[in-house]
Structure 1
Amino acid sequence: MGRTRSAAKDIGAILADIEAEVRAENDWGNVASYIPELADIRPNQFAMSVCTAAGETVSTGDAMTRFSIQSVSKVFTLALALGRHGDLLWRRVGKEPSGNPFNSIIQLEVENGTPRNPFVNAGAIVTTDAILEGRKPRDTLAEILRFIRSAAEDDDIWINDRVARSEERTGDRNYAIAHFLRSCGNLRGECALVLGTYFHHCAIEMTCVQLARAGRFLCSAFGDQRLIPTERVRSINALMMTCGHYDGSGEFAYRVGFPGKSGVGGGILAVVPNVASIAVWSPGLNDFGNSKQGTRALERLSERTGWSVFA
């Protein structure tokens, strides 16, 4: 894969150059102001970490600053849901790009309560319902945290309760989605319990270093074992490529060339299969709701390393 496999010291130099270019541009986008706890975050922050398949991590910028991973958490909940339900999950949620914003209700109504994919909000709510089924929210959240901590090999990963409560207070559209799903028979738990779990896993906080290391299970082997089967890795990476940036997924695939999943907290988890897991964070967003400078940074990284699933 790719034209070159740069050594770690070369990656470090590339990351430093990218950070310098990002900060020189001073074009940060806008933070997700509709979530009060995210509204006051300074947009002019930037971090990037690369964790190689061998487990070596190289970083630049504010790589030890914690941020709310938001929809990046959907990668981990999808892995858990597939582990619990297998391909039966696809009876409740599709595998197609949406072409609509992440919180769209229109498409859900047209398609009778079956979300297009597990990364739009409706699909992630169904996925959360699938892993919550038969359990209490606190036990499900504990399971999600255990999985992420195991993937990152780091127990210092937590949920920010203030962010979760902030999302609950302003989550009317997600409540509307959940109630519509339930009216179609595609939500089995109580809306409040499912959404409480959903808001809390979106409020998990991580650093870029932790997120890059946590994504390594989608890159290649995880030490001497895999956290999930190879076929599940392939499925998740495929969905990250086609659906991971909502209605900006095609643009991201064209510009960057490898799978990625964004969150409105400004984080992006990207995967170059068998090469590296990459985390980038810059809280200012573009018009699609994806990190503006994070996307540009990944495009530059792809250009300078030759990493791409298409070359």
Structure 2
Amino acid sequence: MREVMSHLDAAADLEQVLYDVHREIQPLIGQGQLADYIPALSAVDPQQFGLALATTSGEVHGIGDYQLPFSIQSLSKVYAFALALAADGETIWERVGHEASTHPFNSLLQLEHDHGIPRNPFLNAGALVSVDRLMSRHGSAVQPLREFLRAESGNHNIDVEKSVAESERAHCDRNASLAHLMASYGNLDNPVPNVLDNYIEQCALTMSCHDLALAARFLVRGGVRADGTRLLSTDNAKRINATMLVCGMYDQAGAFAFRVGLPAKSGVGGGVLAVVPNRGVLCVWSPGLDRSGNSVAGVAALEAFSLATGWSVF
């Protein structure tokens, strides 16, 4: 399997690679810890695994539980920030940066040091800024995000998992602290409780690897949506991919770039989204997490896929 396959255009070749990847990482499925600080996520079966590839043309290849919905958590940050960037344009970068962080994704220390400006949109504080901007534009952040995800994936049943949202509401003190700190610096325009509620519901959306991969194809289509309309300029689509590469895997972004070499974003629900420029989008899901909050089997699967295919930005 380690022989690089540089020309993988046939569906049969892709299906074989997915099969081989699944077989190779099988011993890692179930390893790691569930995100038990969100009680509803601690009940997820750790033995589940799904991997999907959505090509630029919209074909989807998958293996395992790739059509089973799960809590997308921080994967939502990619789509929400894309919508905020589309609405605000370059001014969004005055509210949130694009630099990597060596601190945890919910660090108050770094946010205080940076005077309420989150280092990047994929930290919890940065995602709260995206939510705030969407609320200022639309009155809600969840509604336009849900509509976008439904349209791009073709699945009109995508919705918030209420049990997960309620579980997160009961354990959101750290995110509330982040929001209040940013509000004290003038970096939130909407009431903190409303921003928090929208953020919690955004993270509690449930989607499958199949649908998440389809919904992110605008990142490999230069900002163009599934219906052919433009969401982002080519430059801004590139900037999101670049930010994912350096910031998307929490404090392990550098290690992931070294191992896999693809722009990616992880979530504590066990999902990882990875962009393969000019080819498609990968989404993998396995709930067991490492100490940084990244899926153990998911990261290994993406590394195995990259090594087998030679698909990388490097």
Aligned length: 307
Q: Structure 1 85/223 Cα, relative in aligned 2: closer, same or farther at 3 Å?
A: closer
- What is the alpha-carbon distance in structure 2 between the residues aligned to residue 227 and residue 118 of structure 1? 18
Mapped contact 2:79–2:216 kept (Cα < 8 A): no
The answer to whether 1:37 aligns with 2:40 is yes
Q: Residue 112 of structure 1 corresponds to which residue in structure 2?
A: 115
Give the alignment of 1:96-175 within 5 angstroms.
96-133=99-136, 135-137=138-140, 140-175=141-176
The answer to whether 1:16 aligns with 2:19 is yes
Mapped contact 1:215–1:278 kept (Cα < 8 A): no
Mapped contact 1:122–1:177 kept (Cα < 8 A): yes
TM superposition outliers: structure 1 runs of 4+ over 6 Å: none
Q: Residue 296 of structure 1 corresponds to which residue in structure 2?
A: 300
- What is the alpha-carbon distance in structure 1 between the residues aligned to residue 82 and residue 296 of structure 2? 27
Q: Residue 212 of structure 1 corresponds to which residue in structure 2?
A: 213
Question: Which letter does structure 1 place at the counterpart of 2:182?
Answer: L
* Cα distance, 1:52 vs structure 2: 1.0
SS at match of 2:90: helix
The one of 285, 291, 298 equivalent to 1:281 is: 285
Q: Residue 87 of structure 2 corresponds to which residue in structure 1?
A: 84
* Cα distance, 1:134 vs structure 2: 5.4
Give the alignment of 1:130-279 within 5 angstroms.
130-133=133-136, 135-137=138-140, 140-220=141-221, 222=226, 224-279=228-283
SS at match of 1:133: helix
Q: Structure 1 5/194 Cα, relative in aligned 2: closer, same or farther at 3 Å?
A: same
Q: Structure 1 127/262 Cα, relative in aligned 2: closer, same or farther at 3 Å?
A: same
Deviations 1:207-247 (A, max 9, x none): 11111111111112545444332222111111111100110
Mapped contact 2:29–2:288 kept (Cα < 8 A): no
Q: Which moved more, 1:151-160 or 1:19-28?
A: 19-28
TM-score by length of 2: 0.94
- What is the alpha-carbon distance in structure 2 between the residues aligned to residue 131 and residue 293 of structure 1? 33
- What is the alpha-carbon distance in structure 2 between the residues aligned to residue 277 and residue 240 of structure 1? 13
The one of 58, 63, 82 equivalent to 2:61 is: 58
- What is the alpha-carbon distance in structure 1 between the residues aligned to residue 294 and residue 47 of structure 2? 15
The answer to whether 1:69 aligns with 2:77 is no
Mapped contact 1:6–1:305 kept (Cα < 8 A): no
Q: Residue 96 of structure 2 corresponds to which residue in structure 1?
A: 93
Deviations 1:243-272 (A, max 9, x none): 001101001111111111111000011110
* Cα distance, 1:40 vs structure 2: 1.2
- CA-atom RMSD, angstroms? 1.4
The one of 3, 7, 23 equivalent to 1:4 is: 7
Question: Which letter does structure 2 place at the counterpart of 1:142?
Answer: Q
* Cα distance, 1:7 vs structure 2: 2.1
Mapped contact 1:242–1:249 kept (Cα < 8 A): yes
Mapped contact 2:29–2:46 kept (Cα < 8 A): no
Question: Which letter does structure 2 place at the counterpart of 1:65?
Answer: L
| Unpaired stretches in structure 1, ≥5 consecutive residues | none
Mapped contact 1:240–1:260 kept (Cα < 8 A): yes
TM-score by length of 1: 0.95
The answer to whether 1:49 aligns with 2:41 is no
* Cα distance, 1:9 vs structure 2: 1.0
| Unpaired stretches in structure 2, ≥5 consecutive residues | none
Q: Structure 1 178/224 Cα, relative in aligned 2: closer, same or farther at 3 Å?
A: closer
Mapped contact 2:168–2:200 kept (Cα < 8 A): yes
- What is the alpha-carbon distance in structure 1 between the residues aligned to residue 180 and residue 158 of structure 2? 31
Deviations 1:184-216 (A, max 9, x none): 111111110001000001111001111111111
Question: Which letter does structure 2 place at the counterpart of 1:191?
Answer: V
- What is the alpha-carbon distance in structure 1 between the residues aligned to residue 229 and residue 192 of structure 2? 37
Deviations 1:78-136 (A, max 9, x none): 11111111110111111100111111111111111111001000111111111111543
* Cα distance, 1:26 vs structure 2: 4.7
Identity of aligned residues (%): 45
